[in-house]
Structure 1
Amino acid sequence: MGSWSCAACTFLNENDALATCQVCHAVRVVRCAKCRQEITVGSRLRVADKVFHPNCFVCTACAKPFPTPKFSIKNGDPYHSACLPKAPEVLCAQCFKTIGSGPRLTVSGQPYHPGCFVCTACRKPFPTHQFSIKDGEPYHSECLPQEPVVLCAQCLQAIGCGPRLTVSGQLYHPDCFVCKACRKPFPTHQFMIEDGDAYHASCLPSQLVTCANCRQSIGVGPRVTASRLTYHTGCFLCAGCHAPFGKARFQLQDGEPYHTECFKQLYNPRCEVCDDFIPYKPDGTTIAYREVPFWNMRFCPSHENRDRCCGCQRIEPLAPTKRFVVLSDGRKVCQDCDKIAVLDTLEANGAVADVWEFMASIGISLPKLPVYLVEAQILSQHCESLNRTIHDHSTNAPVRGHVTRGLCLSEVTQVRHMVRRGGTAVPEVVAVDKNRSVTGILILHGLPYDLTAQVIAHEATHAYIKLSDHFPDHLPMLVEEGMCQLLSYLFLKYKQVVEDDSSPTMRATFRARLRAVLVQQIETDQTPVYGDGFRAAYDAYTRVHSLQTIKPQS
């Protein structure tokens, strides 16, 4: 007998024949199992404890009624016999074809045609129905695949069926699994793995430290660590004197330790003026020094205003044996420049000849002009008479930018020039030919030979411009001085090619280095007239590669 649940109070009534609820006496509501609507009056069908409207009891597949009381139930739903769902096709696990309703074998949950269930190795059937399964495949016992030979990861010999150890995916004979460093076993079965190899904790490579001095293992003894390097305490020695440090401070150079004093003696720069070590800044860790351009002459900042050589611009050292030579007008020259200094007019003839020969080689023809070597005071007087500013040579101060060391004369009627009298050069007054439009060239005496020749080349270019019909009477100062700087620059470059590049020995001489300084001074001159003028003239020259072409355009 069935039961029903009251729609009003949800009480479960055990007697299906009751029309009212035993608790609340509500009238029983019957609902169609198909449409879930209430069945009040009229006919109804009861099928398998379910109640339907007559029109709702239809075939689940075609939705048509059953003209006769015959129907089939599948999975709780009614079907015409012709509408029953068909069973799914079964495929053979070997040939993947339909097995149908014929005979079949089921092995490990897989269906087979009887003729398809054969040995995976020999493809023959199992007449006695005895077989073995390996990796899900059937085999005759004699066809089973052989187990692969397992090799010990240490000795590379077969392990066989005896005991084995598996560590990090590697198999070992028990006796072969030992520490890679000391080759001893692990009696407590405790070990560490590093880079795939087994070690005792004390044998780990990352725990082994090598002394940076003797290159031997330090072990677990005392050690000293400096700049990420580790030493035996007895090996931590000064790289300079090889003595221990004790409690003294040390400094590192290229990864090696030094006593502070040893480091100072070996690496701290010395002042090339006072020959003492350049002092530290107040912080005690860094030093500050000045440097003469190009010469790499380092000196203490306190020597910045000491006298300079009027030739190479190096600073006069304090040592009596290195003091500069004082010229008659108070200027100073270093001992290197003094060896090649041109002191009087007669000595200048060689430099004049060099310059005139160079000028002729590039197509500039100059008449013979008098060239006089004079003191700084005489050059200053003539410059002042022409309203030309000039560097105060008497102070021997550092040179900044271009310095006037020569003058091309056109109106001066007489001049005092230098004549050697025995061991010294003295001034002497001579008359200047008034019939020349360019009456002479004045050059400071006592300059080194190449600087003298450079100044002569500069002033000779002024003379050429004044004498040449290609130029107007008055050129812009930037144009004229730029061309004069260009010719003196080309002369120096010519001397470098002819003399300095002839051999490595020549390039190392003081004269070659001085020429390089003079070239650099012209190239890096930042004054508006001489520096910018030179660069403009040089750019024009490099474009046309001809002095004759740029002269009229200038």
Structure 2
Amino acid sequence: MAQGKPGSSSPPGGPPKPGSQLDSMLGSLQSDLNKLGVATVAKGVCGACKKPIAGQVVTAMGRTWHPEHFVCTHCQEEIGSRNFFERDGQPYCEKDYHTLFSPRCYYCNGPILDKVVTALDRTWHPEHFFCAQCGAFFGPEGFHEKDGKAYCRKDYFDMFAPKCGGCARAILENYISALNTLWHPECFVCRECFTPFVNGSFFEHDGQPYCEVHYHERRGSLCSGCQKPITGRCITAMAKKFHPEHFVCAFCLKQLNKGTFKEQNDKPYCQNCFLKLFC
């Protein structure tokens, strides 16, 4: 009757599994050594296959392993002398551990292996946490958040802070509210002469603030004689406006009536002075 060699038999239905074949070979080796009088002492029980370890041994995570059985739980590659990580009592190679369990950078979606920035309820590589507008890294002043994005102070206020009605730049601190808009205090001045308003009193024309003189100038209501605003009675002559007391003969300075003057070189004259000077 033919006898099979130890470790060479195969179960019906297919070739032996590599692990089973190796275990059989180790068992045969130990048996042969015992027959030769060489005592073999187990170095522990393998944490994976639960069988005695007679040769090389790996000690890790408080257990002993056959080197070929100390493998990454995810990729099943032998760990050997490489670095590994433990999670829930299972070993993982460095690559798979970071891929499976390390925090992910919100910007690049890659695993974060070293320093991490936690902001906006997310995690980031330090080099990937920067202003969403200009790309600059944040200094000691930190960042400002809008719609889930981080911005440096300058860009945040340039983009989202209310704008001054005078200079159109962002308003960061004190402001004046007037004419349905906001103003830097130093920008709320007459739009013509840039003079600040006394006691906050100003005149509005086309949505802009003016001092009294330039308000009337814009409206065409300055007296052509004294260059001061006309707020009461007014005489219109020669396409100009005058206080009644300032509509006078250019030569004798006698007060004129609208219908009783003569015009010469864009100046008004009484009847007598006109005849003396030009006739």
TM-score, shorter chain, exceeding 0.5? no
Which structure ranks higher in relative contact order (CA pairs < 8 Å, sequence separation ≥ 6)? 1
Tell which structure's C-alpha radius of gyration is larger.
1
TM-score where L is the length of structure 2: 0.39
Q: TM-score, normalised by structure 1?
A: 0.22
